[in-house]
Structure 1
Amino acid sequence: MEIKHYPQVAETLYKDVLPNGLSVYYLPKPDYNKTYGLFTTNFGSLDTTFVPRGKSEMTDFPEGIAHFLEHKLFEKEDGDAMNFFSALGANSNAFTSFTRTSYLFSTMENSDENVSLLLDFVQEPYFTEASVAKEQGIITQEIQMYQDDADFRLFFGLLQNLYPDSPLASDIAGTPRSIGQITADALYENYQTFYHPSNMNLFVTGPFDVEKMAELVRDNQAQKSFPKTEPITRAAFSAAAPIASNKMAFDVTIPKLALGFRGYDRLPSDSLLRFEYKMAVQLMLTMIFGNTSSRYESLYNEGLIDDSFGFDFEVAPQYHFASITSDTIYPIKLAKILRDTLKSYKIESDFNSEHLTILKKEMLGDYYKSLNSLEFIANQFSSNLFEGVTFFDFPMILSSLTLEKIIQHADKFVSQMQTTDFVMNPK
């Protein structure tokens, strides 16, 4: 078992790679009374075209199948897995993103039994055409419910502008039409391809003995048979050129603006550089648009933005983009100011070493505060697995970011970014 110490955060992480390829991470927390488990597969809504296990040709599958599969794994021949967790005193849930699907539990009792149950229910699929037909109706209602959510529609309207003709432009849950095309056989094909242990990782944190927990997981996996590990061949992610501008009418009281900035196609190959790049651009955005900046204050005082104003920087192996959103009476004027500000970020008065020092201290404080939440640690850890660089490397990378390094990364993003805007107007 590999052991890695993180003295800056006083944490010790244990990693065990099992014979079947499953990567297991243990983070003991002896002072806590809750255990949290997260079982993740490298499979999300973007993965709709790939070579199924045992076949040789690319196959297209309906949009939303990863999310559909997440729902269906809870349903077993003898009941709902959520009820099994409840009987053991645990809460359970799952979620699907663009790039991964995760199953989780949290409990103050029966941690061993809950870890075993987490492994077992995910690794024992049960799909029938009748249960698939029933789920189609449930998920169709879920999809239609989100169509009335203005912020949801704004975000996906922006993604459709940024990455046209790509899976990223589609709702993670799919469409009523695509959901209607899903069959039990298609679910099994997706499951057998992406739910192999070699494409998954398990993260467990809480007040347990690492060796005993590791033995439990090893024994659980040793009793199961899996096919030989094979590389997964996925279709390369591609998208048409961004749509410069778009708008829609919706049931809102004042217009909503979403600005998108699509990054260059190839991220740094080194995992440490990718993590550093993500953090550097996020810091640059915070320096010029954060609520401690004079730009934010002036926009707020002029009535161009309100408390809904926010920004984000999304980074994944297939894509990366910055987004800025706000309710505003003047969407065209605001969009121009924000675009011009970002393009000339280096001349902003708040882009300086003093402001950077303050923001780094704030970010570090928020980071250490977040370490009190086992759920936050598990989710951040699983989403930031960059081939050896983890969530616990955050303080080290943050401390190394100078203004010069931030300029180096931000210049590359800003000089090559493609911009778009999406406006939601009142009906």
Structure 2
Amino acid sequence: MKEQNYPQAGERLFHSTLENGLTVYYLPKADYNRTYGLFTTNFGSLDTRFIAPGSKKMSHFQEGIAHFLEHKLFEKKEGDVMYKFGALGAQTNAFTSFSRTSYLFSTRENSFECTELLLDFVQDPYFTKENVEKEQGIIQQEIQMYQDDSDWQLFAGLLSHMYPDTPLAQDIAGTPESINAITAEDLYQNYEIFYHPSNMTLFLTGPFDVSKMDDFVRNNQAQKHYTKKEPIERMALEQTKVKSGATKTLDVAMPKLALGLRGDDRLATDSRTLMRYKLSLSLFLDLIIGRTSKRYETLYNAHEIDDTFGFSFDLDKRFHFFSITGDTKNPKKLSETLQEAIKSYKIDSDFNAAHLELLKRDMLGEYFSALNSLEYIANQFSTERYDEINFFDLPEILSELTLEIISKHVDSFIAEMKVVEYTILSQSSEMN
């Protein structure tokens, strides 16, 4: 077991790779009374086309299968695993993203028993024709629930036009048609490929003894037999042309704008450069259109934007993009203003060293405040991990950033970016 110290974050992280390939991280928190566990597989909604280990043939499965599998793992022959966690005094849940699926527990007691239950239920699938058919109806109701959410519709519409004809254009949960086509055999095939320990990570944080917990996890895994597997060959996202200018009419009080900036999918392979790139671009929009910028104040005072206005930067090994969304009375005018601000950022009065230092301090403040949450630490660590660089390296890498470094990364992004507008119009504005 290896130990890594992060002085700026004030954390000690222990790391083990077990014989079956499972990667395990332990973050001791002696002053806490809660243990949090996160068991993650590198398998998400993007992974519908791949070449399985030992095969030369392309496999193609239905959209939504990763999310479907997440739902079904909780159901066993003897009942729902959630009741077992409840009996231990713990809470449990799971979630699926574009590139990963995670199962979790949070507890004030029985941390070893909860860790064992987490490992055992995820590593013991039970799918039948009957329980798959029952789940199809449940997931279809979940899909319909999101269809009634205009903000979800806005983001989903943006993705479908920014990455058309790719898995990113599809709902993580799939469609009613794709869900109906999934079988128990499909679930078992995907499980055997993506739920091998070598494709998974366990993160545990809390007031436990690290050495005892490591022995406990090793003993649990030693009792299970896994054959060694080669890496999965995942399909890159197709370089499809974006579709811009689409609109949709819904029953909303005010039009909604989504502006997407799709980056070139060829990213740096060096993990430190990748983290620096992500932080640079995350700070970039904050500098020129964030709440501390003059442009934000001007737009807000002119009632061109309101409190719904926001933006985010998403980066994965297979994609990265900005999404800027908000309610606005004039979507076209706002889009033009934002695009002009991005392209001419170098002459923006808010793109200056003093403003950057302010935002870096704010980011660090939020970072250290969030370190009080075990859930936040575990989830961010799972997301912000680029080989040897991870979430705990953020303070050090953030301190290295200058306007020149940020400008270099922004210029690289802008040179290749593809711009997409997607608008939801209110029925009243459509009639006008």
Residue correspondence of structure 1 range 26-425 to structure 2 within 5 A: 26-53=26-53, 55-425=55-425
Q: Secondary structure at the match of 2:43?
A: coil
Gaps of 5+ in 2: 428-432
Q: Secondary structure at the match of 2:385?
A: coil
Q: Secondary structure at the match of 1:315?
A: strand
2:346 & 2:92 partners in 1: Cα distance?
A: 46
- CA RMSD after TM alignment: 0.8
Q: CA deviation at 1:52?
A: 3.6
Corresponding letter in the other structure for 1:407: S
2:406 & 2:55 partners in 1: Cα distance?
A: 45
1:311 & 1:39 partners in 2: Cα distance?
A: 29
Deviations 1:233-292 (A, max 9, x none): 222221411112100001101100000000012111101111100100111110011101
* Matched-pair contact (CA < 8 Å) for 1:205–1:374: yes
1:293 & 1:84 partners in 2: Cα distance?
A: 50
Corresponding letter in the other structure for 2:376: F
Deviations 1:192-226 (A, max 9, x none): 00000000000000000000000000000000001
2:17 & 2:96 partners in 1: Cα distance?
A: 24
Deviations 1:41-64 (A, max 9, x none): 000000001124554311110000
Which shifted more, 223-232 or 97-106? 223-232
* Matched-pair contact (CA < 8 Å) for 1:20–1:229: no
* Matched-pair contact (CA < 8 Å) for 1:254–1:426: yes
Corresponding letter in the other structure for 2:375: E
2:364 & 2:54 partners in 1: Cα distance?
A: 47
Corresponding letter in the other structure for 2:282: Q
* Matched-pair contact (CA < 8 Å) for 1:65–1:182: yes
Q: CA deviation at 1:229?
A: 2.1
2:390 & 2:51 partners in 1: Cα distance?
A: 30
1:265 & 1:385 partners in 2: Cα distance?
A: 18
1:239 & 1:262 partners in 2: Cα distance?
A: 11
2:359 & 2:230 partners in 1: Cα distance?
A: 45
* Matched-pair contact (CA < 8 Å) for 2:39–2:118: yes
What TM-score results when the alignment is normalised by the length of structure 1? 0.99
Q: Which runs of 4+ in 1 moved over 2 A?
A: 51-56
Corresponding letter in the other structure for 1:160: S
Q: Secondary structure at the match of 1:39?
A: strand
2:55 & 2:396 partners in 1: Cα distance?
A: 44
Corresponding letter in the other structure for 2:79: G
Instruction: Work out the percentage of aligned pairs sharing the same amino acid.
Output: 59
Number of aligned residue pairs: 427
Q: Secondary structure at the match of 1:419?
A: strand
Q: Secondary structure at the match of 1:120?
A: helix
Gaps of 5+ in 1: none
Partner of residue 430, structure 2: none
1:245 & 1:317 partners in 2: Cα distance?
A: 27
Q: Secondary structure at the match of 1:354?
A: helix
2:251 & 2:52 partners in 1: Cα distance?
A: 43
Q: CA deviation at 1:152?
A: 0.5
Corresponding letter in the other structure for 1:62: Q
Q: Secondary structure at the match of 1:180?
A: helix
Deviations 1:24-45 (A, max 9, x none): 0000000000000000000000
